[in-house]
Structure 1
Amino acid sequence: MSDAVRVLVVEDEALVASFVEDALSDGGFQACSVHSGEEAMSTFCDGREGCRVLLTDINLGDGISGWELARQIREITPSFPVVYMTSASAPDWESQGVGSSVLIQKPFAPAQLAAAVSQLLGGATSPG
């Protein structure tokens, strides 16, 4: 039985998802991975997984984007912590991202990932 904070990981590339799961695990978190924005919304609304943080890629194939996913989750839970992962979409963060979110640029070190999640959970305050 683990009391680690559960992180909802949304990543459509299996290798990246696996890397992220390992990085979170090393950082003391528990990953709950899904592969599309729709799947993530369903998992979030279902609530069974008890995830406390959203960690999402921006470009998720044909479905809704990470930007859209975060907005939908914030409509339900306004203060839900959001971490975006992206290689190409960083310049859009200011216009597309939700307030008080964190963006980390791919490729990143495992420690950066755990640090970003910890920062949000640590009650780090930022305007927005």
Structure 2
Amino acid sequence: MTEVLPTVLLVEDDDAIQGIVEEALREGGFEFTSAKTGEEAVTLLKGRLVAYCALVTDINLLGSLTGWEVARAARETDPNLPVVYISGAAAHDWPAQGVPNSIILQKPFALAQLTTAVSQLLNERSVADLGKA
């Protein structure tokens, strides 16, 4: 029987950074789907073809949507979806723009920080779900 790995939606428009983050997710035991624009990410989220376990998004993206807006759209489809923002310049806006119970990583960050952040949010979500049972 094949083990189904949790799937992260990654939204990053820089090919080099996308590749590095994909490798970190793979090494951390995650599958991933990558999108380059906020619009593409929102389409994937609303299509519900994959049950994403988390969203990892840059803030400044190609297209008209920002990572802030992608995260808000993600929370409309799953109010408890773990969100990790990655940004080089917009981290200072996180307290005002970020969704609750999210984490921001300032670029450059250690790749282990990314998988730790995703895992931490997934663990917090699991504990919260147990409390509701």
- The normalised TM-score by structure 2 is 0.89
Contact (CA 8 Å) 2:57, 2:86: kept in 1 or not?
Answer: yes
Hey, what does 1:15 align to over in structure 2?
Answer: 16
How far is the alpha carbon of 1:50 from its aligned partner?
Answer: 2.2
- Whole-angstrom CA distance in 1 between matches of 2:62 and 2:88: 14
2:108 matched to 1:80?
Answer: no
- Whole-angstrom CA distance in 1 between matches of 2:93 and 2:3: 36
Hey, what does 1:71 align to over in structure 2?
Answer: 72
Question: The residue matched to 2:5 in structure 1 has which SS?
Answer: coil
The superposition leaves residues 65-90 of structure 1 with CA deviations (integer Å, 9 ceiling, x where unpaired) of 00011112212221111100001111
Question: The residue matched to 1:53 in structure 2 has which SS?
Answer: strand
One-letter amino acid of the structure 1 residue matched with residue 15 of structure 2 = A
How far is the alpha carbon of 1:2 from its aligned partner?
Answer: 4.1
- The normalised TM-score by structure 1 is 0.92
Paired-residue identity, %: 46
Question: The residue matched to 2:124 in structure 1 has which SS?
Answer: coil
Contiguous gaps of at least 5 residues in structure 1 = none
Hey, what does 2:107 align to over in structure 1?
Answer: 106
Question: The residue matched to 1:123 in structure 2 has which SS?
Answer: helix
Q: What number of residue pairs does the alignment pair up? A: 125
- Please identify which structure carries the higher helix content: 2
Contiguous gaps of at least 5 residues in structure 2 = 128-133
Contact (CA 8 Å) 2:10, 2:57: kept in 1 or not?
Answer: yes
Question: The residue matched to 1:54 in structure 2 has which SS?
Answer: strand
- Whole-angstrom CA distance in 1 between matches of 2:53 and 2:27: 17
